[in-house]
Amino acid sequence: MRSISLLFLCLLFLQCNTQRPAFKTTRPDRFVKFIKEKELKSNLYQLASDAMEGRETGEEGQKKAAKFLEKFYRQNNIAPALEEGYFQAVPGSYFEHKFKDTENVAAFIKGVEKPEEIVVISAHYDHLGAKNEQIYYGADDDASGTVAVMQTAKAFKKAAQRGFYPRRSVLFLHLTGEEKGLLGSRYYTENPIFPLEQTVANLNTDMVGRVDQAHHKSPNYVYLIGSNRLSTALDSLVQQQNKKYTALELDYTYNAEDDPNRFYYRSDHYNFAKHKIPVVFFFNGVHEDYHKPTDTPDKINYSLLKTRTELLFYSAWEVVNREDRLVVDVE
């Protein structure tokens, strides 16, 4: 009996010591240093290179971009969101063969206190491919948002490696098929990796590396779209994090319900908003190179891209680690 009791105590001790660590609070500015302008630039140049062939959905260039993202997450020890790996297959047949088979890319950091609650940080990584032997590089649209999500993931991982695990789980979701009509995000929300009812919010980045005509004289800005349409708390916390850390001008021009551009409906966050999931869309507005072959990496404002990425990280950190889940309080 004594040997059995000792064995039980040993097993109990081992179990207690293999449990996930407790959630601990800390300041996010300890980890923002891992968002580096040099890495943003290097990754963006690779995504918007000739080798990626414009990243058209289902084509070879988009497949290369997906593998590039997979390699990044593996190198940074950020786990895949699916048992079978980082790729969520999106069959062309699901959308009546509007494109070839493609994939969303999904990485994951599990929360330690509320792991069942999911915060999605997203960007689409596809673009328009090539036309008339000209590559549409899509540096701003949306290699900029893609690298912002990558660096945000790295900052969260660096925090976890130092014992500061997220309270909620974080899904870093790179979406395909946006240029085909938000189809990658539609597929995800109709076939979610994690239940939508447990999805707390979606923070989406699409075009965050340039300056539009309206802000040429004051480029330290970002447009916020959708942040107050479902949850006033989400909008408030983005404002608070910006005031505390990044001091960008938050421009709500395109958030107006009567905005003729209808940008609220034109990027991947909308497929989450349709399901009453709070969203915020970070955006720099359109410019003279929008959807043209001239949207190239040399035109990106990398310092500004870094600051906008920092706001994404600070906002996500608060959504992920605040005590209370965001509440939908706007009809």
How would residue 21 be classed by pLDDT, with cut points 50, 70 and 90?
confident
**Whether 223 contacts 253, CB under 8 Å:** yes
Angular region, 291: left φ>0, alpha ψ -120 to 50, beta rest: left
Task: Evaluate if residue 14 carries a pLDDT over 90.
Answer: no
What pLDDT shows up at residue 122?
98
What pLDDT shows up at residue 16?
41
Express each pLDDT in 262-288 by its tens digit.
Answer: 999 999 999 999 999 999 999 999 999
How would residue 9 be classed by pLDDT, with cut points 50, 70 and 90?
very low
What pLDDT shows up at residue 2?
38
Helix ranges, 104-259 (H): 145-161, 183-190, 232-241
How would residue 98 be classed by pLDDT, with cut points 50, 70 and 90?
confident
Q: What is the DSSP string of 274-307?
A: TTT--EEEEE----TTTTSTT--GGG--HHHHHH
Residues in the chain: 331
Tokens of 212: 């539009």
Express each pLDDT in 213-225 by its tens digit.
Answer: 999 999 999 999 9
Task: Evaluate if residue 291 carries a pLDDT over 90.
Answer: yes
Task: Evaluate if residue 244 carries a pLDDT over 50.
Answer: yes
Q: What's the average model confidence in pLDDT over 302-311? A: 98
Please state, in angstroms and rounded to a whole number, the distance separating the CA atoms of residues 313 and 155.
8
Longest alpha-carbon distance in the chain: 81
Please state, in angstroms and rounded to a whole number, the distance separating the CA atoms of residues 253 and 168.
31
What count of other Cβ atoms lies within 10 Å of the Cβ of residue 16?
8
Task: Evaluate if residue 12 carries a pLDDT over 70.
Answer: no
Tell me the average pLDDT of the chain. 94
CA 66 to chain centre: 15
Q: What's the average model confidence in pLDDT over 160-189? A: 98
Percent of the chain surpassing pLDDT 90: 92
Task: Evaluate if residue 6 carries a pLDDT over 70.
Answer: no
Tokens of 251: 């421009």
Task: Evaluate if residue 11 carries a pLDDT over 70.
Answer: no
Residue 286 makes CB contacts below 8 A (sequence gap 6+) with: 207, 212
Domain boundaries 40-321, corresponding CATH code: 3.40.630.10
Please state, in angstroms and rounded to a whole number, the distance separating the CA atoms of residues 125 and 128.
10
Rounded to 5 degrees, φ, ψ at 137 are -70, -30
Residue 4 makes CB contacts below 8 A (sequence gap 6+) with: none
What pLDDT shows up at residue 8?
39
How would residue 20 be classed by pLDDT, with cut points 50, 70 and 90?
low
Tokens of 317: 């950190």
Task: Evaluate if residue 35 carries a pLDDT over 70.
Answer: yes
What's the start-to-end Cα distance of the chain, in Å?
A: 64
Q: What's the average model confidence in pLDDT over 173-190? A: 98
Q: What's the average model confidence in pLDDT over 22-34? A: 95
Residue 291 makes CB contacts below 8 A (sequence gap 6+) with: 128, 136, 141
Placement of tokens 């980890």 in the chain: 31
Q: What is the DSSP string of 188-236?
A: HHHS-SS-GGGEEEEEEE-S-S---GGGTT---EEEEESTTTS-HHHHH
How would residue 201 be classed by pLDDT, with cut points 50, 70 and 90?
very high
How would residue 246 be classed by pLDDT, with cut points 50, 70 and 90?
very high
User: What residue segments make up the domains of the chain, in order of their start?
Assistant: 40-321
**Whether 227 contacts 238, CB under 8 Å:** yes
Task: Evaluate if residue 13 carries a pLDDT over 80.
Answer: no
Task: Evaluate if residue 4 carries a pLDDT over 60.
Answer: no
Query: Which letter, b or e, does each residue of 221-250 get, where b requires 16 or more Cβ atoms within 10 Å of its Cβ?
Result: bbbbbbbbbbbbbbbebbeebbeebbebeb
What pLDDT shows up at residue 19?
64
How would residue 42 be classed by pLDDT, with cut points 50, 70 and 90?
very high
Q: What's the average model confidence in pLDDT over 307-324? A: 98
Express each pLDDT in 111-122 by its tens digit.
Answer: 999 999 999 999
